Every structure is written in C-alpha cells, then in structure tokens.
C-alpha cells in the first residue's frame, strides 16, 4: 500500500491515509474531510473553502486529481 497525508491532499492536518490505489486514499481523505466538517474544525473548513474556490476554474478538478495522483504514484510501496 501507499500513504498520503491530509496536508498533501489539500487538507489541514497530518492525518495519514493508506490505500492500494489513489482512489482508495482519495475516498478516505474525503471521509476524513466530512468528519472534520461535521466537528467544525477551523483549519479544515478554511482548506475546504480554498478547494471550493479553486474548483471554480475550468478543469481545476481534473488538474488537482492528476497532480495528487502523480504524488501518489511517486511514493514507494509500503507493506
Ligand atoms: Zn485533516
């Protein structure tokens, strides 16, 4: 598996997400973001707002996804 942190995925903390695929990690990161949103965590709310603003740009989502996936692919495989 591979690991990425909340920070690396545009979040606001050092929580780590593990997965065999980027999709798996992205899903975990999303669930974590929802959890932080529910608890009203300030830094995560700011990060989400920034993400929302960024997504106003055409193709921003695709670019973001491709960029993060590249980081994922450059990571060594962990047991
Ligand atoms: Zn986080």
| 14 CA from centroid of ligand 1 (Å) | 6
Give the pLDDT of residue 52.
Answer: 92
Q: Any idea what DSSP says for residue 34?
A: H
Which run of H or E residues covers position 74? helix 60-74
The yes-or-no verdict on residue 79 having pLDDT over 90 is: no
Question: 27 near 1, Cβ under 8 Å?
Answer: no
Every domain of the chain and the residues it spans: 2-59
Which pTM does this prediction carry? 0.90
Q: How far is the CA of 59 from the centre of ligand 1 (A)?
A: 24
- pLDDT (tens digit per residue) in 56-69: 999 999 999 999 99
Ligand 1 geometric centre to CA of 76 (Å) = 22
Tens of pLDDT, residue by residue over 15-56, are 999 999 999 999 999 999 999 999 999 999 999 999 999 999
């Amino acid at each position: 598996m591979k690991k990425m942190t909340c920070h690396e995925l545009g979040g606001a903390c050092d929580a780590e997400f593990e997965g065999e695929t980027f999709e798996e990690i992205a899903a975990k990161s999303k669930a974590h973001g929802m959890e932080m949103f529910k608890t009203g965590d300030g830094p995560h709310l700011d990060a989400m707002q920034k993400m929302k603003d960024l997504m106003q740009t055409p193709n921003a989502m695709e670019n973001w996804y491709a960029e993060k996936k590249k980081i994922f692919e450059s990571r060594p495989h962990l047991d």
